[in-house]
Structure 1
């Protein structure tokens, strides 16, 4: 039942492998293990996508796809779940990651507020030399926070999906048992 609900939202492997931008991957995309809909594959795919989606700001999808292929997780779920950071969530997630990393490292970074961050970003041009120094001020706390968010977030996603999937199976089993017991009573 859970698998049927998930399957209706996923693309077919043959459609993906025939896409003009993905044809070069050939038989890799048609491996059945990348399209399985079971508890392990879906939970692992979600965990991989959330991990890479939170860890790096660019090229999340290729890293998630590669990890899904190597770990035989559901490819579509891994790629889609990288969108946990998108244009709407990017700034708050990275700001919170910086704040948390700064707190973990003992307030070693520069004091940064959202307004200051926005002002600095508007003043930075690619040709100016000061932008590297400004990135260096926030790099350690930011990457510490992102690494922790990515690790904990992916573990929680894996555990939550596994738990909810198992709960759905148990509830379905109990419902079937009650129906069977009721049919014997009649």
Structure 2
């Protein structure tokens, strides 16, 4: 069942509650619904995490946690899902977002070379920035919607399969008892 699979990768609630960075949310973190793992909360947490994963901003985990709290989505899952974009995956994901944005805006993709400097960031905002931000927004919306519906479907499928296994086991036990 997806619940058991997901639970293996999530941190313990107490570890997240004691996190110094997340203490900014105060006693709101003690809300039990934020830690409960069911189909609705898991799909919501996954959706929120994927939505913020494609935002090119720092503190994506804070943003994800801040939105998961009022929506009563699973907090650890929403914060963990943000790490889809990590130092290894950011370059190809953001390059793909730039290509998507330039295609949608109808602009020709510009050749650029990344430089780790503030001057490069300022200059790039006017040249590749609009296409990049539009691409990030599109990727963010599509990934979160696909993630929500896919996890929802997988969860329902697994529950249906478990019910079918139980029904067959009961029927088998009934036949053996006769």
From 137, 141, 145, the equivalent of 1:147 is 137
1:86–1:15 CA distance, 2 compared to 1 (3 A):
closer
Q: Deviation at 1:105?
A: 0.8
Q: Deviation at 1:132?
A: 2.4
Match of 2:158 in 1: 168
Whether contact under 8 Å (2:22, 2:62) holds in the other structure is no
Deviations 1:46-74 (A, max 9, x none): 11011001123321111001001111111
Counting only pairs closer than 5 Å after superposition, residues 43-62 of structure 1 correspond to structure 2 as 43-62=43-62
Number of equivalent positions:
176
Q: 2:122 aligned with 1:132, yes or no? A: yes
Q: Runs of 5+ in structure 2 lacking a partner?
A: none
1:74–1:136 CA distance, 2 compared to 1 (3 A):
same
Whether contact under 8 Å (2:97, 2:139) holds in the other structure is yes
Distance 1:28 1:179 in 2: 43
Match of 1:111 in 2: 110
Match of 1:70 in 2: 70
Deviations 1:107-160 (A, max 9, x none): 2x5522xxxx33xx33x743x5x7523321111111111101000000000001
Match of 1:86 in 2: 86
1:170–1:136 CA distance, 2 compared to 1 (3 A):
same
Distance 2:121 2:55 in 1: 21
Q: Runs of 5+ in structure 1 lacking a partner?
A: none
Task: Report the 3-state secondary structure (helix = DSSP H, G, I; strand = E; otherwise coil) of the residue aligned with 1:55.
Answer: coil
Match of 1:17 in 2: 17
* CA-based RMSD: 2.0
Q: Deviation at 1:77?
A: 0.4
Task: Report the 3-state secondary structure (helix = DSSP H, G, I; strand = E; otherwise coil) of the residue aligned with 2:158.
Answer: helix
Task: Report the 3-state secondary structure (helix = DSSP H, G, I; strand = E; otherwise coil) of the residue aligned with 1:87.
Answer: coil
